Amino acid sequence: MEAKLLSTDPTTLAVLTLFALLAFTSGFQQKAMDKLLNFDRLVLSSAVGPESLAFDHLGGGPYTGVSDGRIVKWQGQGLGWADFAVHSKYRERVCHGSNDSMLESICGRPLGLQFYKATGDLYVADAYFGLLVVAPNGGVATQLATGADGQPFNLANGLDVDQETGVVYFTDSSTRFRRRDYILAVIMGDATGRLMNYDPKAKKVTVLIRGLAFPNGLAISNDTTFLLIAETGTCRVLKYWLQGPRNGTFEVFAELPGYPDNIKRNPGGEFWVALNQDKVQLNGQTASDFGKTGEPSEHHPVALRLSQEGKVLEVLERRAATSVSEVEERNGTMWLGSVDMPYVGVYTL
Ligand SMILES: *[C@@H]1O[C@H](CO)[C@@H](O)[C@H](O)[C@H]1NC(C)=O
Ligand SMILES: *[C@@H]1O[C@H](CO)[C@@H](O)[C@H](O)[C@H]1NC(C)=O
Ligand SMILES: *[C@@H]1O[C@H](CO)[C@@H](O)[C@H](O)[C@H]1NC(C)=O
Ligand SMILES: *[C@@H]1O[C@H](CO)[C@@H](O)[C@H](O)[C@H]1NC(C)=O
Question: What confidence tier does 33 reach under pLDDT thresholds 50, 70, 90?
Answer: very low
The residue ranges of every structural domain in the chain are 10-348
Q: Which residue has the higher pLDDT, 49 or 319?
A: 49
Over range 57-64, report the average pLDDT. 96
Does 12 contact ligand 2 (Cβ within 6 A)? no
pLDDT of the residue at 295: 42
Mutational test site, ligand 3, from 162, 221, 223, 309, max ligand atoms within 8 Å of CB: 223
Q: Is the pLDDT of residue 15 over 50?
A: no
Pairing of strands 139-140, 81-86: parallel
Query: Rounded to whole angstroms, how far apart are CA atoms 158 and 235?
Result: 16
Whole-model pTM? 0.85
Does 8 contact ligand 2 (Cβ within 6 A)? no
Over range 235-241, report the average pLDDT. 97
Cα–ligand 2 centroid distance for 131 (angstroms): 22
DSSP state of 234: G
Q: Is the pLDDT of residue 165 over 60?
A: yes
Question: What confidence tier does 65 reach under pLDDT thresholds 50, 70, 90?
Answer: very high
Query: Rounded to whole angstroms, how far apart are CA atoms 324 and 301?
Result: 10
- Beta-carbon neighbour count of residue 34 at 10 Å? 6
Question: What confidence tier does 323 reach under pLDDT thresholds 50, 70, 90?
Answer: confident
pLDDT of the residue at 114: 98
Closest ligand 2 atom to residue 208 Cα is 5
Q: Is the pLDDT of residue 224 over 90?
A: yes
Query: Rounded to whole angstroms, how far apart are CA atoms 155 and 171?
Result: 8
Instruction: Starting from the CA of residue 246, give the closest ligand.
Output: 2
Mutational test site, ligand 4, from 117, 331, 334, 348, max ligand atoms within 8 Å of CB: 331
Instruction: Classify domain 10-348 by CATH architecture.
Output: 6 Propeller (2.120)
What does R_g of the chain's alpha carbons equal in angstroms? 19
Q: Which residue has the higher pLDDT, 135 or 289?
A: 135
Cα–ligand 1 centroid distance for 298 (angstroms): 29
Report for 196-210, 271-285, 328-342: range of highest mean pLDDT: 196-210
Does 11 contact ligand 4 (Cβ within 6 A)? no
Over range 322-336, report the average pLDDT. 90
Percent of the chain at pLDDT > 70 equals 81
| Mean pLDDT, rounded, of the chain | 85
- The helix/strand/coil state of 306 is strand
